Amino acid sequence: MRKEATDEMKIFQNKFFLICLCVAIVLAAVPSTLSVMGFQSLSRNIVGVVTSPFRWVATVVTDAFEGFSLYFSGVDRFYAENEALREENAALREQIERAELLEKENERLRDYLGMKQEHPDFTMEEARVISREAGNYVTVFTLNKGTLHGIRANMPVIVREGLVGYVREVGLNWCKVCTVIETATAVGAYVPRSGATGIVSGDYSMKTEGVCKFSYVEGDADIQVGDKLYSSGIGSIYPADLYIGEVIEVGEDAYNRTVVAKIKPAVDFSAIEWAVILTGYTQE
């Protein structure tokens, strides 16, 4: 009890406490006294002046809380809108990818129908490329059609741009294709401009450049850079008039003094995704 009394005495001896107590008493007594004496207006003014700082502090605190509330609600709304935009972007990307796939499919079908219209005597089997040789150039690749689909060795393979090569090996549901730059390939060919004829074949020293050669041509044959070559259909497995490529260089064989030309194939073999195997054709 004595300790509690001592603590109470210490509180009353504190100067700050006493000043606050006196101010509170004055603030409570003065307005009441003035109001009793008939000075109600003056009393309200005094109360307004005295309480103005407290009301300002209360307003600031309230505004601060409202500001924090608006800030956090704004952050939540921002995250929600951001998530909605991400979902919308993902949906748009999916639509774009689907549209690109449809465009590729339509382009492939247009090419296929175009070949059918150009060569109504061809019987075709469309196939997808499922693997390629590794390296800077492609001479052999695998298609997803085989004996189950009527595919046999030595069948020609083409795309809309021109001649690709021939089927070298066949499995049940796959086949390997050699391109015209492979050394085992040989195609009877001619130049429509001059009528020059010869053989287009792969060459080991040239295939690293992605080109092949036109050889076994008469020494006085008229061959120029830029000439187009087509299959002749003579003495080979290929039908006539398939576009092979373009002459990019003309030279002479030092051994037999015949013309030798470098040919750039019409087909970019590394870009092939689909090809057509000729399972039959009418050769005149």
- pLDDT tens sequence across 197-230: 999 999 888 888 889 999 988 878 899 999 999 9
The token pair at 6 is: 């001592």
Q: Which of 164, 185, 114, 125 is nearest to 270 (CA)?
A: 164
DSSP state of 236: S
Q: Which residue has the higher pLDDT, 278 or 107?
A: 278
Contact (Cβ atoms closer than 8 angstroms) between residue 127 and residue 144: yes
Domains, the chain, ordered by start? 2-63 (no CATH), 123-280 (2.40.10.350)
Contact (Cβ atoms closer than 8 angstroms) between residue 179 and residue 189: no
What is d(CA 146, CA 176) in angstroms, rounded to the nearest whole number? 9
DSSP-H helix ranges across 131-279: none
What is d(CA 233, CA 281) in angstroms, rounded to the nearest whole number? 11
Is-above-0.75 flag for pTM?
no
The pLDDT score that the predictor gives to residue 82 is: 78
Lowest mean pLDDT among 49-58, 87-96, 115-124: 49-58
Lowest mean pLDDT among 4-13, 90-99, 226-235: 4-13
Q: Which residue has the tokens 């009441």?
A: 32
Looking at every residue in the chain, the average pLDDT score rounds to 79
